Chain A
Amino acid sequence: MAAQSTIEQRERTAPAGATASATRRPGGAGAGLLRFARNTWRPAAVLVAILLVWWMVTAADLVKPYLVPSPGTTLDVVLAQPGYFAHHTWITTYETVLGFAIAIVVGVLSAVVMVYSPTVEKSLYPLLLFAQVIPKIAIAPLFIVWLGFGLSPKVVVAVLMAFFPIVISTVTGMKSIDPEMLQLSATMGAGPAQTFRKIRFPAALPHLFAGLKVAATMAVTGAVVGEFVGANEGLGYVILQANGNLDTPTLFAGLIIMSLLGVVLFVVVELLEYLVLPWHASRRTDSATTTL
C-alpha cells in the first residue's frame, strides 16, 4: 500500500513528457479560470477574517466610533448615498483606467524603441529614472497649473506612476530572449518585424504582465494623488472632504472603495494573464500563482 503510493507519487512528479502527457495538459481558457478560482478562496478567507476582527473591535467598544466606525456604519454611509459614491468612484476609475491604458501604449512603445536602438536607450534611461524618482505628489500641483482643474492632470499623474514599471519589465522581457533563438530566426530569413511579432514580443509577455500588475496599482495611486492636489470630484476629493469634516465613516468608505478599485484592476490584469499565457501559468505551482 505504502509502496504503491510512493510509486504513484513518483509518476506524478516525474518530468512531464516522459509519459505521453499531451492529453492531460492543464491548459486552455476554461482550465485557467478554474485554477484562478481555486487560488482566490484563501485571500477571500483572510479578508473575511479581517472584517470580522474589525467588527468585533467596534462592537466591543474598544475604540471610539468617531475614530474607527463599525463596518455597519461604513456600509450605511455608502447605502445612504449610492449615487454620490458611484459618481466619484466612476471618476477615479475613469482617470485610473485611462492613465493605465496610456501608460501601456507609451510604455511598451518606448520599450520597443529602446530595445532596438541602444542609442535611444542610453539617452532615454536617465530621463526615465529622473521621471520615476521625482515625487509625484510634488509635481502634481504643477500639472494642475498647466492643465487646469479637470481630469487631465490626474490622468497624467496616473500615467507617470504606471509608466515606469511597464517600460522596465518590457525591456527586460525583450532582452531575456535566448540569443540562439534570434540567430535561428536569421537563418529562417525572418525580418525584424517577423522576429518581433513571432518571437521577441511573445517571449516578453510574462515580464510585461509582471510589470502591468505593479503598474495597475500605481495607476490608482496616481489618480488619487492628482485628486488630492486639486479636484472637485473623485475618491481623493471624497476622502479629503470627509477628513475635513471628521466624517470617519465616509473616509473609511472612500478608502475601502479605493483599495477595491486597485484590487479589481489588479485581478483583471491577472485574469488576462491567465487567459493570454496559459503556457506560462501552467508551469507554476499552485502556491505561487497569485499575490492576492
Chain B
Amino acid sequence: MTVGNTTTQRSADATGTGATVEIDEVAVRFRTKKKDVTALRDVSLRIEPGEFVAIVGASGCGKSTLLKLVSGLLRPSSGQVRLHGEDVRGPRRDIGYIFQRAALLEWRTARRNILLQAEMRGMPKAQARQRVDELIAMTGLTGFEDAYPNELSGGMQQRVALCRALLHRPPVLLMDEPFGALDALTREQMNVELRRIWRETGTTVLLVTHSIAEAVYLANRVIVMTPRPGTVAEVIDVDLPVERDYGQTMSAPEFARATGRIRDLLGATTTAE
C-alpha cells in the first residue's frame, strides 16, 4: 500500500485526470498479406488507481492487444491511450508485465531472473537485493531462490515472473493469462495469493483471463469483450467484499450472479457469430 499508491497519486495529481489508464475510442487494425484485420474497435475504458480489472472474452477478441496498447508495445491505429494522464508513445517502463509463459531465462536462477529487472533498470544493487528478498518471502518462493527454471514447477515459475514484474514497484501490473498454463488447483492457489499481493501492494492490475471464476474472484470490475473485431460488450461491477475467502466467495450469491451474467454475455456473443 505504500510506494505503488503514492506514485500513482502523484502522477494523477499532476495531470488532474485521476485515472491510471484511459483508453479513448481505440481501434487496432493489422495488415496481413491478404486482408486487413480489425482486432479492436471503439474501445473506451477508464481504470482508476488501485483497481483490479479483469478482461474476459473469446480467444482472438483482442484482449492481449489491449494490454500491449497500455504497455506501449503496440500503437493504436486510431484513438488514444493514456497512462497516468500521459500519452503512451513507446514501451513504458512504469509497468510490470506478466505473460502466460513465465518467460524466464533458463541460465539464471530464480533470484537472478528476478534481478534482471533491476539490472536492466540500473537499480542500486543493495536496494535491489533487499527488494528481491522481500518479494521472495511475499510470494512463497523461499527455498527456491537458487533453483533454475527447469527445476521449478509451472506455479513456481510464474511466481518468479510475478516477483520480476513487481521488483520496481510498478504502479500498474499487466497480466496476460498468467495462470493459463497451470493446473486447476495451483491456479486457485495463485488466485488467492495474487488477491493478497494486490491488497498488500495497492498496484493497479489489468488481468486478461479465460476463466470467468478467476475474473470474478479477483477483480472489482470485469470487462467482457465481443469476438473479433473486439469491443467492450459490458462492464460488470463485482459487488463482493474486499476480504474474499476463496470457498465462501465461490458460493456467494453475488459470485453466481456475476459469473452467470458473464457466461450469458459470452454465450450470446458466440451464438450470434
A and B interact physically: yes
Least Cβ–Cβ distance between A288 and chain B, in angstroms? 16
The answer, yes or no, to whether A4 is at the interface (CB within 8 Å) is: no
The answer, yes or no, to whether A203 is at the interface (CB within 8 Å) is: yes
CA distance A188 to B117 in the complex (A): 6
CA distance A16 to B198 in the complex (A): 29
Interface residues of A in 1-29 (CB under 8 A from B): 15-18, 20-22, 25, 27
Q: Known A183-B73, A188-B120; judge A22-B147 contact (CB<8 A).
A: yes
Q: CB-CB contacts of A171-204 with B at 8 A, as 1s and 0s?
A: 0000000101101111111100010001100110
Stretch of B90-98, B188-196, B246-254 that contacts chain A: B90-98
With A17-B156, A198-B120 known, 4 other A-B pairs at CB within 8 A are A178-B103, A180-B99, A187-B95, A188-B121
Q: Could you name 28 residue pairs across A and B whose Cβ atoms are closer than 8 Å? A: A16-B150, A16-B151, A17-B151, A20-B143, A20-B144, A21-B151, A22-B143, A25-B147, A25-B151, A178-B103, A180-B99, A181-B103, A183-B73, A184-B103, A187-B92, A188-B117, A188-B120, A188-B121, A189-B91, A189-B120, A194-B119, A194-B120, A198-B119, A202-B107, A277-B107, A279-B107, A279-B150, A282-B150
CA distance A181 to B144 in the complex (A): 22
Residue of B95, B103, B117, B143 ringed by the most chain A CB atoms within 10 A: B103
Q: In the complex, which residue of chain A has the Cβ closest to the Cβ of B109?
A: A22
How many contacts A-B (CB < 8 Å)? 82
CA distance A21 to B120 in the complex (A): 29
Q: Known A25-B148, A25-B151; judge A188-B107 contact (CB<8 A).
A: no
Quick check: A186 and B147 within 8 Å, CB to CB? no
| Contact partner, A184, options B97, B146, B152, Cβ 8 Å | B97
Q: Known A187-B93, A188-B93; judge A22-B101 contact (CB<8 A).
A: no
Q: In the complex, which residue of chain A has the Cβ closest to the Cβ of B148?
A: A279
Interface residues of B in 96-116 (CB under 8 A from A): 96-97, 99, 101, 103, 105-107, 116
Q: In the complex, which residue of chain B has the Cβ closest to the Cβ of A181?
A: B103
| Contact partner, A187, options B71, B101, B105, B150, Cβ 8 Å | B71
Quick check: A18 and B106 within 8 Å, CB to CB? no
By a CB distance below 8 angstroms, the chain B residues around A199 are 105
The answer, yes or no, to whether B153 is at the interface (CB within 8 Å) is: yes
Quick check: A280 and B120 within 8 Å, CB to CB? no
By a CB distance below 8 angstroms, the chain A residues around B105 are 181, 198-199, 202-203
Q: In the complex, which residue of chain B has the Cβ closest to the Cβ of A24?
A: B151
Q: Known A17-B151, A18-B153; judge A184-B107 contact (CB<8 A).
A: no
Q: Known A20-B144, A22-B151, A178-B103; judge A183-B97 contact (CB<8 A).
A: yes
Quick check: B107 and A283 within 8 Å, CB to CB? no
Least Cβ–Cβ distance between A25 and chain B, in angstroms? 6
Q: In the complex, which residue of chain A has the Cβ closest to the Cβ of B71?
A: A187
Interface residues of B (CB under 8 A from A): 68, 71, 73, 91-93, 95-97, 99, 101, 103, 105-107, 116-117, 119-121, 143-148, 150-153, 156
CA distance A180 to B119 in the complex (A): 18
By a CB distance below 8 angstroms, the chain B residues around A186 are 73, 91
By a CB distance below 8 angstroms, the chain A residues around B145 are 22
**3 interchain residue pairs of minimum CB distance:** A188-B120, A186-B91, A189-B93
| Contact partner, B146, options A16, A22, A180, A198, Cβ 8 Å | A22
Interface residues of A in 222-263 (CB under 8 A from B): none
Residue of B117, B144, B150, B151 ringed by the most chain A CB atoms within 10 A: B151
CA distance A157 to B178 in the complex (A): 52
Q: In the complex, which residue of chain A has the Cβ closest to the Cβ of B74?
A: A183
By a CB distance below 8 angstroms, the chain B residues around A18 are 153
By a CB distance below 8 angstroms, the chain B residues around A15 are 153
By a CB distance below 8 angstroms, the chain A residues around B156 are 17
Least Cβ–Cβ distance between B75 and chain A, in angstroms? 13
Q: In the complex, which residue of chain B has the Cβ closest to the Cβ of A20?
A: B143
Q: Known A21-B147, A22-B146; judge A279-B106 contact (CB<8 A).
A: yes
CA distance A198 to B95 in the complex (A): 20
CA distance A18 to B186 in the complex (A): 12
Least Cβ–Cβ distance between B245 and chain A, in angstroms? 27
Least Cβ–Cβ distance between B174 and chain A, in angstroms? 8
CA distance A186 to B103 in the complex (A): 14
By a CB distance below 8 angstroms, the chain B residues around A282 are 148, 150
CA distance A17 to B107 in the complex (A): 16
By a CB distance below 8 angstroms, the chain B residues around A183 are 68, 71, 73, 91, 97
| Contact partner, A198, options B103, B116, B148, B153, Cβ 8 Å | B116
